[in-house]
């Protein structure tokens, strides 16, 4: 499929998906974090980033929402960039837990590893690994700078969300100190937890998520800024993590149905990556029971199904699509 064909067909599919699911009901905003409960539930946006830097957008793609667990992806890449993929595997792991994202039981069952940097325990451990160790301000600058490199634009913490998260993160406090007990946290536990909480409270737009996904899809090269953000060989590693546990206990069903490696967050965002082809994102606050946006899932499922964007499909079976009339 040529770039122009993909661009036209992708934009058409995005418009169709937005129209199809805008009025759909189902799910509810995350209510265990008070700030998220009050985000307008009718917001809905879809964005995609192509190799030449074209960003396609439909709906509420400029609304700044809480990045939440999608932030685990850039921090995991940064840890691999600073150390190596092998060392992150040794210190944290890459196994799916099959349990909720904030599970303490998962740590007890696998006390030799936090399992993966894309669940809470592994993400807190990853934050503890980020250099410079022992320096909260230095760590934070490294994390934010790296995320901005992926997005190609600036990001800021949503202060009200950070306050809301900090006042309700009792479960994560237990996780941080349990990791300390097992020797699987690599800096001060309270500092690591605070950095993790702050990164989850960063505000981001669907457009920015799409560009981040594009940077991952195109081997660490940001298609907007043309800057090299991370080593190309890390793309397969992070995409494999997204494919393994991006939707927590629903990941298998999602991947079986769509073939799209993706990462969700309870702020309503989902970021998907088709290596070498496209980065795509969708946002809508109402979630299913596992914490994944209902509308965003439906939209991405529709788009990838219509265009045959399944990473497991043999190249010869991916049917080319005709250019859309737009």
Confidence tier at 88 by pLDDT (50, 70, 90): very high
Locate the DSSP E strands across 216-294: 262-264, 269-274, 278-283
Specify whether 152 is located in the same domain as 238: no
Is residue 326, in this structure, part of any structural domain at all?
no
Mean pLDDT, rounded, for 100-122: 68
In terms of domains, do 87 and 178 share one? yes
End-of-domain residue from the set 144, 174, 200: 200
150-164 confidence digits (pLDDT tens): 999 999 999 999 999
β strands within the chain, DSSP E:
45-49, 55-59, 65-66, 156-157, 202-204, 262-264, 269-274, 278-283
In this prediction, residue 322 has a pLDDT band, given cuts at 50, 70 and 90, of very low
Beta bridge partners of 282: 46, 270
Number of domains making up the chain: 2
Is residue 325, in this structure, part of any structural domain at all? no
Spell out the alpha helix ranges (H) of 92-230.
105-109, 120-129, 136-151, 159-166, 170-181, 189-200, 206-217
Q: Is the same domain home to 213 and 133?
A: no
Paired residues of 322 in beta bridges: none
Could you tell me the pTM of the whole model? 0.92
Q: Does 76 share its domain with 190?
A: yes
Q: How far apart are CA 77 and CA 88, in angstroms?
A: 10
Domain CATH for 164? 3.40.710.10
Residue 74 lies in domain: 69-200
Q: What is the pLDDT of residues 183-225, one digit of tens each?
A: 889 999 999 999 999 999 999 999 999 999 999 999 999 999 9
Domain-located, residue 323:
no
| Statement to judge: residues 135 and 193 lie in one domain | yes
Q: Which of 146, 165, 200 is the last residue of a domain?
A: 200
Kindly state whether residue 35 falls inside one of the protein's structural domains.
yes
- 129 is a domain residue: yes
| Residue 119 resides in a domain | yes
| 258 and 293 both lie in a single domain | yes
Q: 155 and 221 share a domain?
A: no
Contact 300, 262 (CB under 8 A): yes
Same domain, 123 and 179: yes
N-to-C CA span, the chain: 17
Average pLDDT over residues 141-151: 98
Which of 164, 184, 200 is the last residue in one of the domains?
Answer: 200
Question: Within this chain, do residues 114 and 97 fall inside the same structural domain, yes or no?
Answer: yes
Are both 94 and 164 inside the same structural domain?
Answer: yes
């Amino acid at each position: 499929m040529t770039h122009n064909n993909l661009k036209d067909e992708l934009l058409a599919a995005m418009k169709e998906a937005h129209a199809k699911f805008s009025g759909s009901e189902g799910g509810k905003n995350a209510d265990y974090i008070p700030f998220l409960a009050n985000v307008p539930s009718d917001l809905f946006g879809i964005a995609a980033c192509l190799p030449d830097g074209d960003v396609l957008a439909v709906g509420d793609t400029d609304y700044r929402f809480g990045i939440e667990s999608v932030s685990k992806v850039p921090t995991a890449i940064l840890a691999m960039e600073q150390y190596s993929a092998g060392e992150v595997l040794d210190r944290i792991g890459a196994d799916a837990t099959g349990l909720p994202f904030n599970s303490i039981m998962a740590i007890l069952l696998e006390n030799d590893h936090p399992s993966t940097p894309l669940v809470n325990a592994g993400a807190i451990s990853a934050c503890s690994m980020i250099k410079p160790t022992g320096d909260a301000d230095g760590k934070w600058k490294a994390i934010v700078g790296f995320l901005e490199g992926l997005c190609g634009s600036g990001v800021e913490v949503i202060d009200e969300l950070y306050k809301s998260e900090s006042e309700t993160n009792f479960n994560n406090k237990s996780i941080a100190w349990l990791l300390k007990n097992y020797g699987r946290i690599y800096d001060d536990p309270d500092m690591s937890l605070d950095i993790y909480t702050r990164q989850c409270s960063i505000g981001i737009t669907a457009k920015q998520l799409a560009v981040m996904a594009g940077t991952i899809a195109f081997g660490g090269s940001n298609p907007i800024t043309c800057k090299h953000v991370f080593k190309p060989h890390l793309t397969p590693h992070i995409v494999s993590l997204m494919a393994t546990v991006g939707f927590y206990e629903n990941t298998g069903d999602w991947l079986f149905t769509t073939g799209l490696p993706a990462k969700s967050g309870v702020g309503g965002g989902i970021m998907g990556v088709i290596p070498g082809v496209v980065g795509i994102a969708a946002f809508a606050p109402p979630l299913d029971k596992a914490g994944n946006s209902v509308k965003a899932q439906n939209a991405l499922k529709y788009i990838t199904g219509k265009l045959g964007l399944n990473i497991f499909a043999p190249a010869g079976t991916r049917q080319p699509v005709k250019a859309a009339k737009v």
